[in-house]
């Protein structure tokens, strides 16, 4: 089978959260660049609508859904609206997430984010965005995908969900670990309906999730030392994996967690 058929997503209907920037933007771009119709959801309306205009000018079939994933009614409504417009839902990328601040020992050696200094307000906010919104996204998508007996759900976890990472806060680490078992549980339930559920576990990427602190040269140097490939990834480097998981190439892949981390979790 030729690659263009193996990785063909032409005509797919997709929904991507956190799509105005970073990894979500890259995921939406690669789907749209390869012929999918993509609804891009984000809380940052100005950035999202500007990006959608640019992508449309380049010939992509994209739509904007300005919403806060922590607003579960709005999130469900956004997904249901896609199905109402297009008649189906082929792929969902539950990607939106926020940082809970630095960990108890950041890459730069600063001591902060200790367990006794983590507020319950921060804990609840991060759980709402990073975990509850993903559950609701999966729940809403699954209802449609079970009915059509096909679909792909791809969740953005983190290597911080696979192992302890001292440079991320407790709420972030906890939510990313929880997502992994959520994916495995859903994969078992939805497999008979030909709905595949997988997680991506990114390592260190240039994104704005932590307030852009990876743009600090000193922080960059510390991270380069712990990444076997010796560099921080660009957001576009997620595109190949995202396309694989949405395409026929991954037709026998479900319940998996795939690190994309430059070798950090290799040992």
Structural tokens at position 14: 């997709």
20-39 burial: b if 16+ Cβ within 10 Å, else e:
bbbbbbbbbbbbbbbebbbb
Give yes or no for a contact between 218 and 225, defined as CB atoms under 8 angstroms apart: no
Active-site residue, selected from the candidate residues 7, 170, 172, 193? 172
Distances (CA, A) of 154 to 3, 86, 97, 239, 243: 21, 20, 14, 13, 11
Cα 191 from Cα 182, distance rounded (Å): 14
Q: Is 172 a catalytic residue?
A: yes
Structural tokens at position 165: 């990472």
Query: Angle, to 10 degrees, between the axis of helix 45-57 and the axis of helix 22-33?
Result: 20
Give the whole-angstrom CA distance, residue 66 versus residue 239: 23
Distance CA 171, CA 98 (A): 10
Tokens found for residue 1? 């089978």
Q: Could you list the active site residues? A: 172
């Amino acid at each position: 089978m030729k690659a263009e058929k193996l990785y063909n997503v032409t005509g797919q209907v997709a929904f991507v959260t956190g799509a105005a920037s970073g990894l979500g933007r890259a995921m939406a771009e690669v789907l749209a660049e390869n012929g999918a119709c993509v609804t891009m959801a984000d809380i940052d309306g100005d950035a999202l609508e500007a990006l959608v205009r640019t992508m449309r000018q380049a010939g992509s079939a994209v739509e904007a859904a300005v919403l806060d994933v922590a607003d579960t009614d709005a999130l469900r409504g956004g997904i249901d609206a896609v199905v109402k417009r297009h008649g189906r839902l082929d792929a969902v990328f539950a990607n939106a997430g926020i940082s809970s601040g630095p960990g108890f020992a950041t890459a730069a050696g600063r001591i902060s984010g200790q367990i006794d200094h983590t507020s319950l307000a921060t804990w609840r906010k991060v759980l709402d965005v990073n975990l509850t919104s993903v559950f609701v996204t999966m729940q809403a998508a699954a209802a449609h995908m079970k009915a059509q007996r096909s679909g792909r759900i791809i969740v953005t976890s983190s290597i911080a969900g696979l192992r302890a990472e001292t440079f991320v806060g407790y709420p972030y680490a906890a939510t990313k670990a929880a997502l992994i078992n959520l994916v495995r549980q859903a994969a078992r339930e939805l497999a008979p309906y030909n709905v595949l559920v997988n997680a991506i576990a990114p390592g260190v990427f240039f994104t704005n999730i932590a307030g852009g602190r990876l743009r600090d040269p000193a922080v960059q140097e510390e991270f380069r030392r712990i990444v076997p490939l010796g560099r921080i990834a660009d957001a576009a480097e997620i595109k190949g994996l995202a396309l694989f998981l949405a395409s026929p190439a991954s037709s026998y892949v479900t319940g998996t967690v795939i690190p994309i981390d430059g070798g950090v979790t290799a040992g």
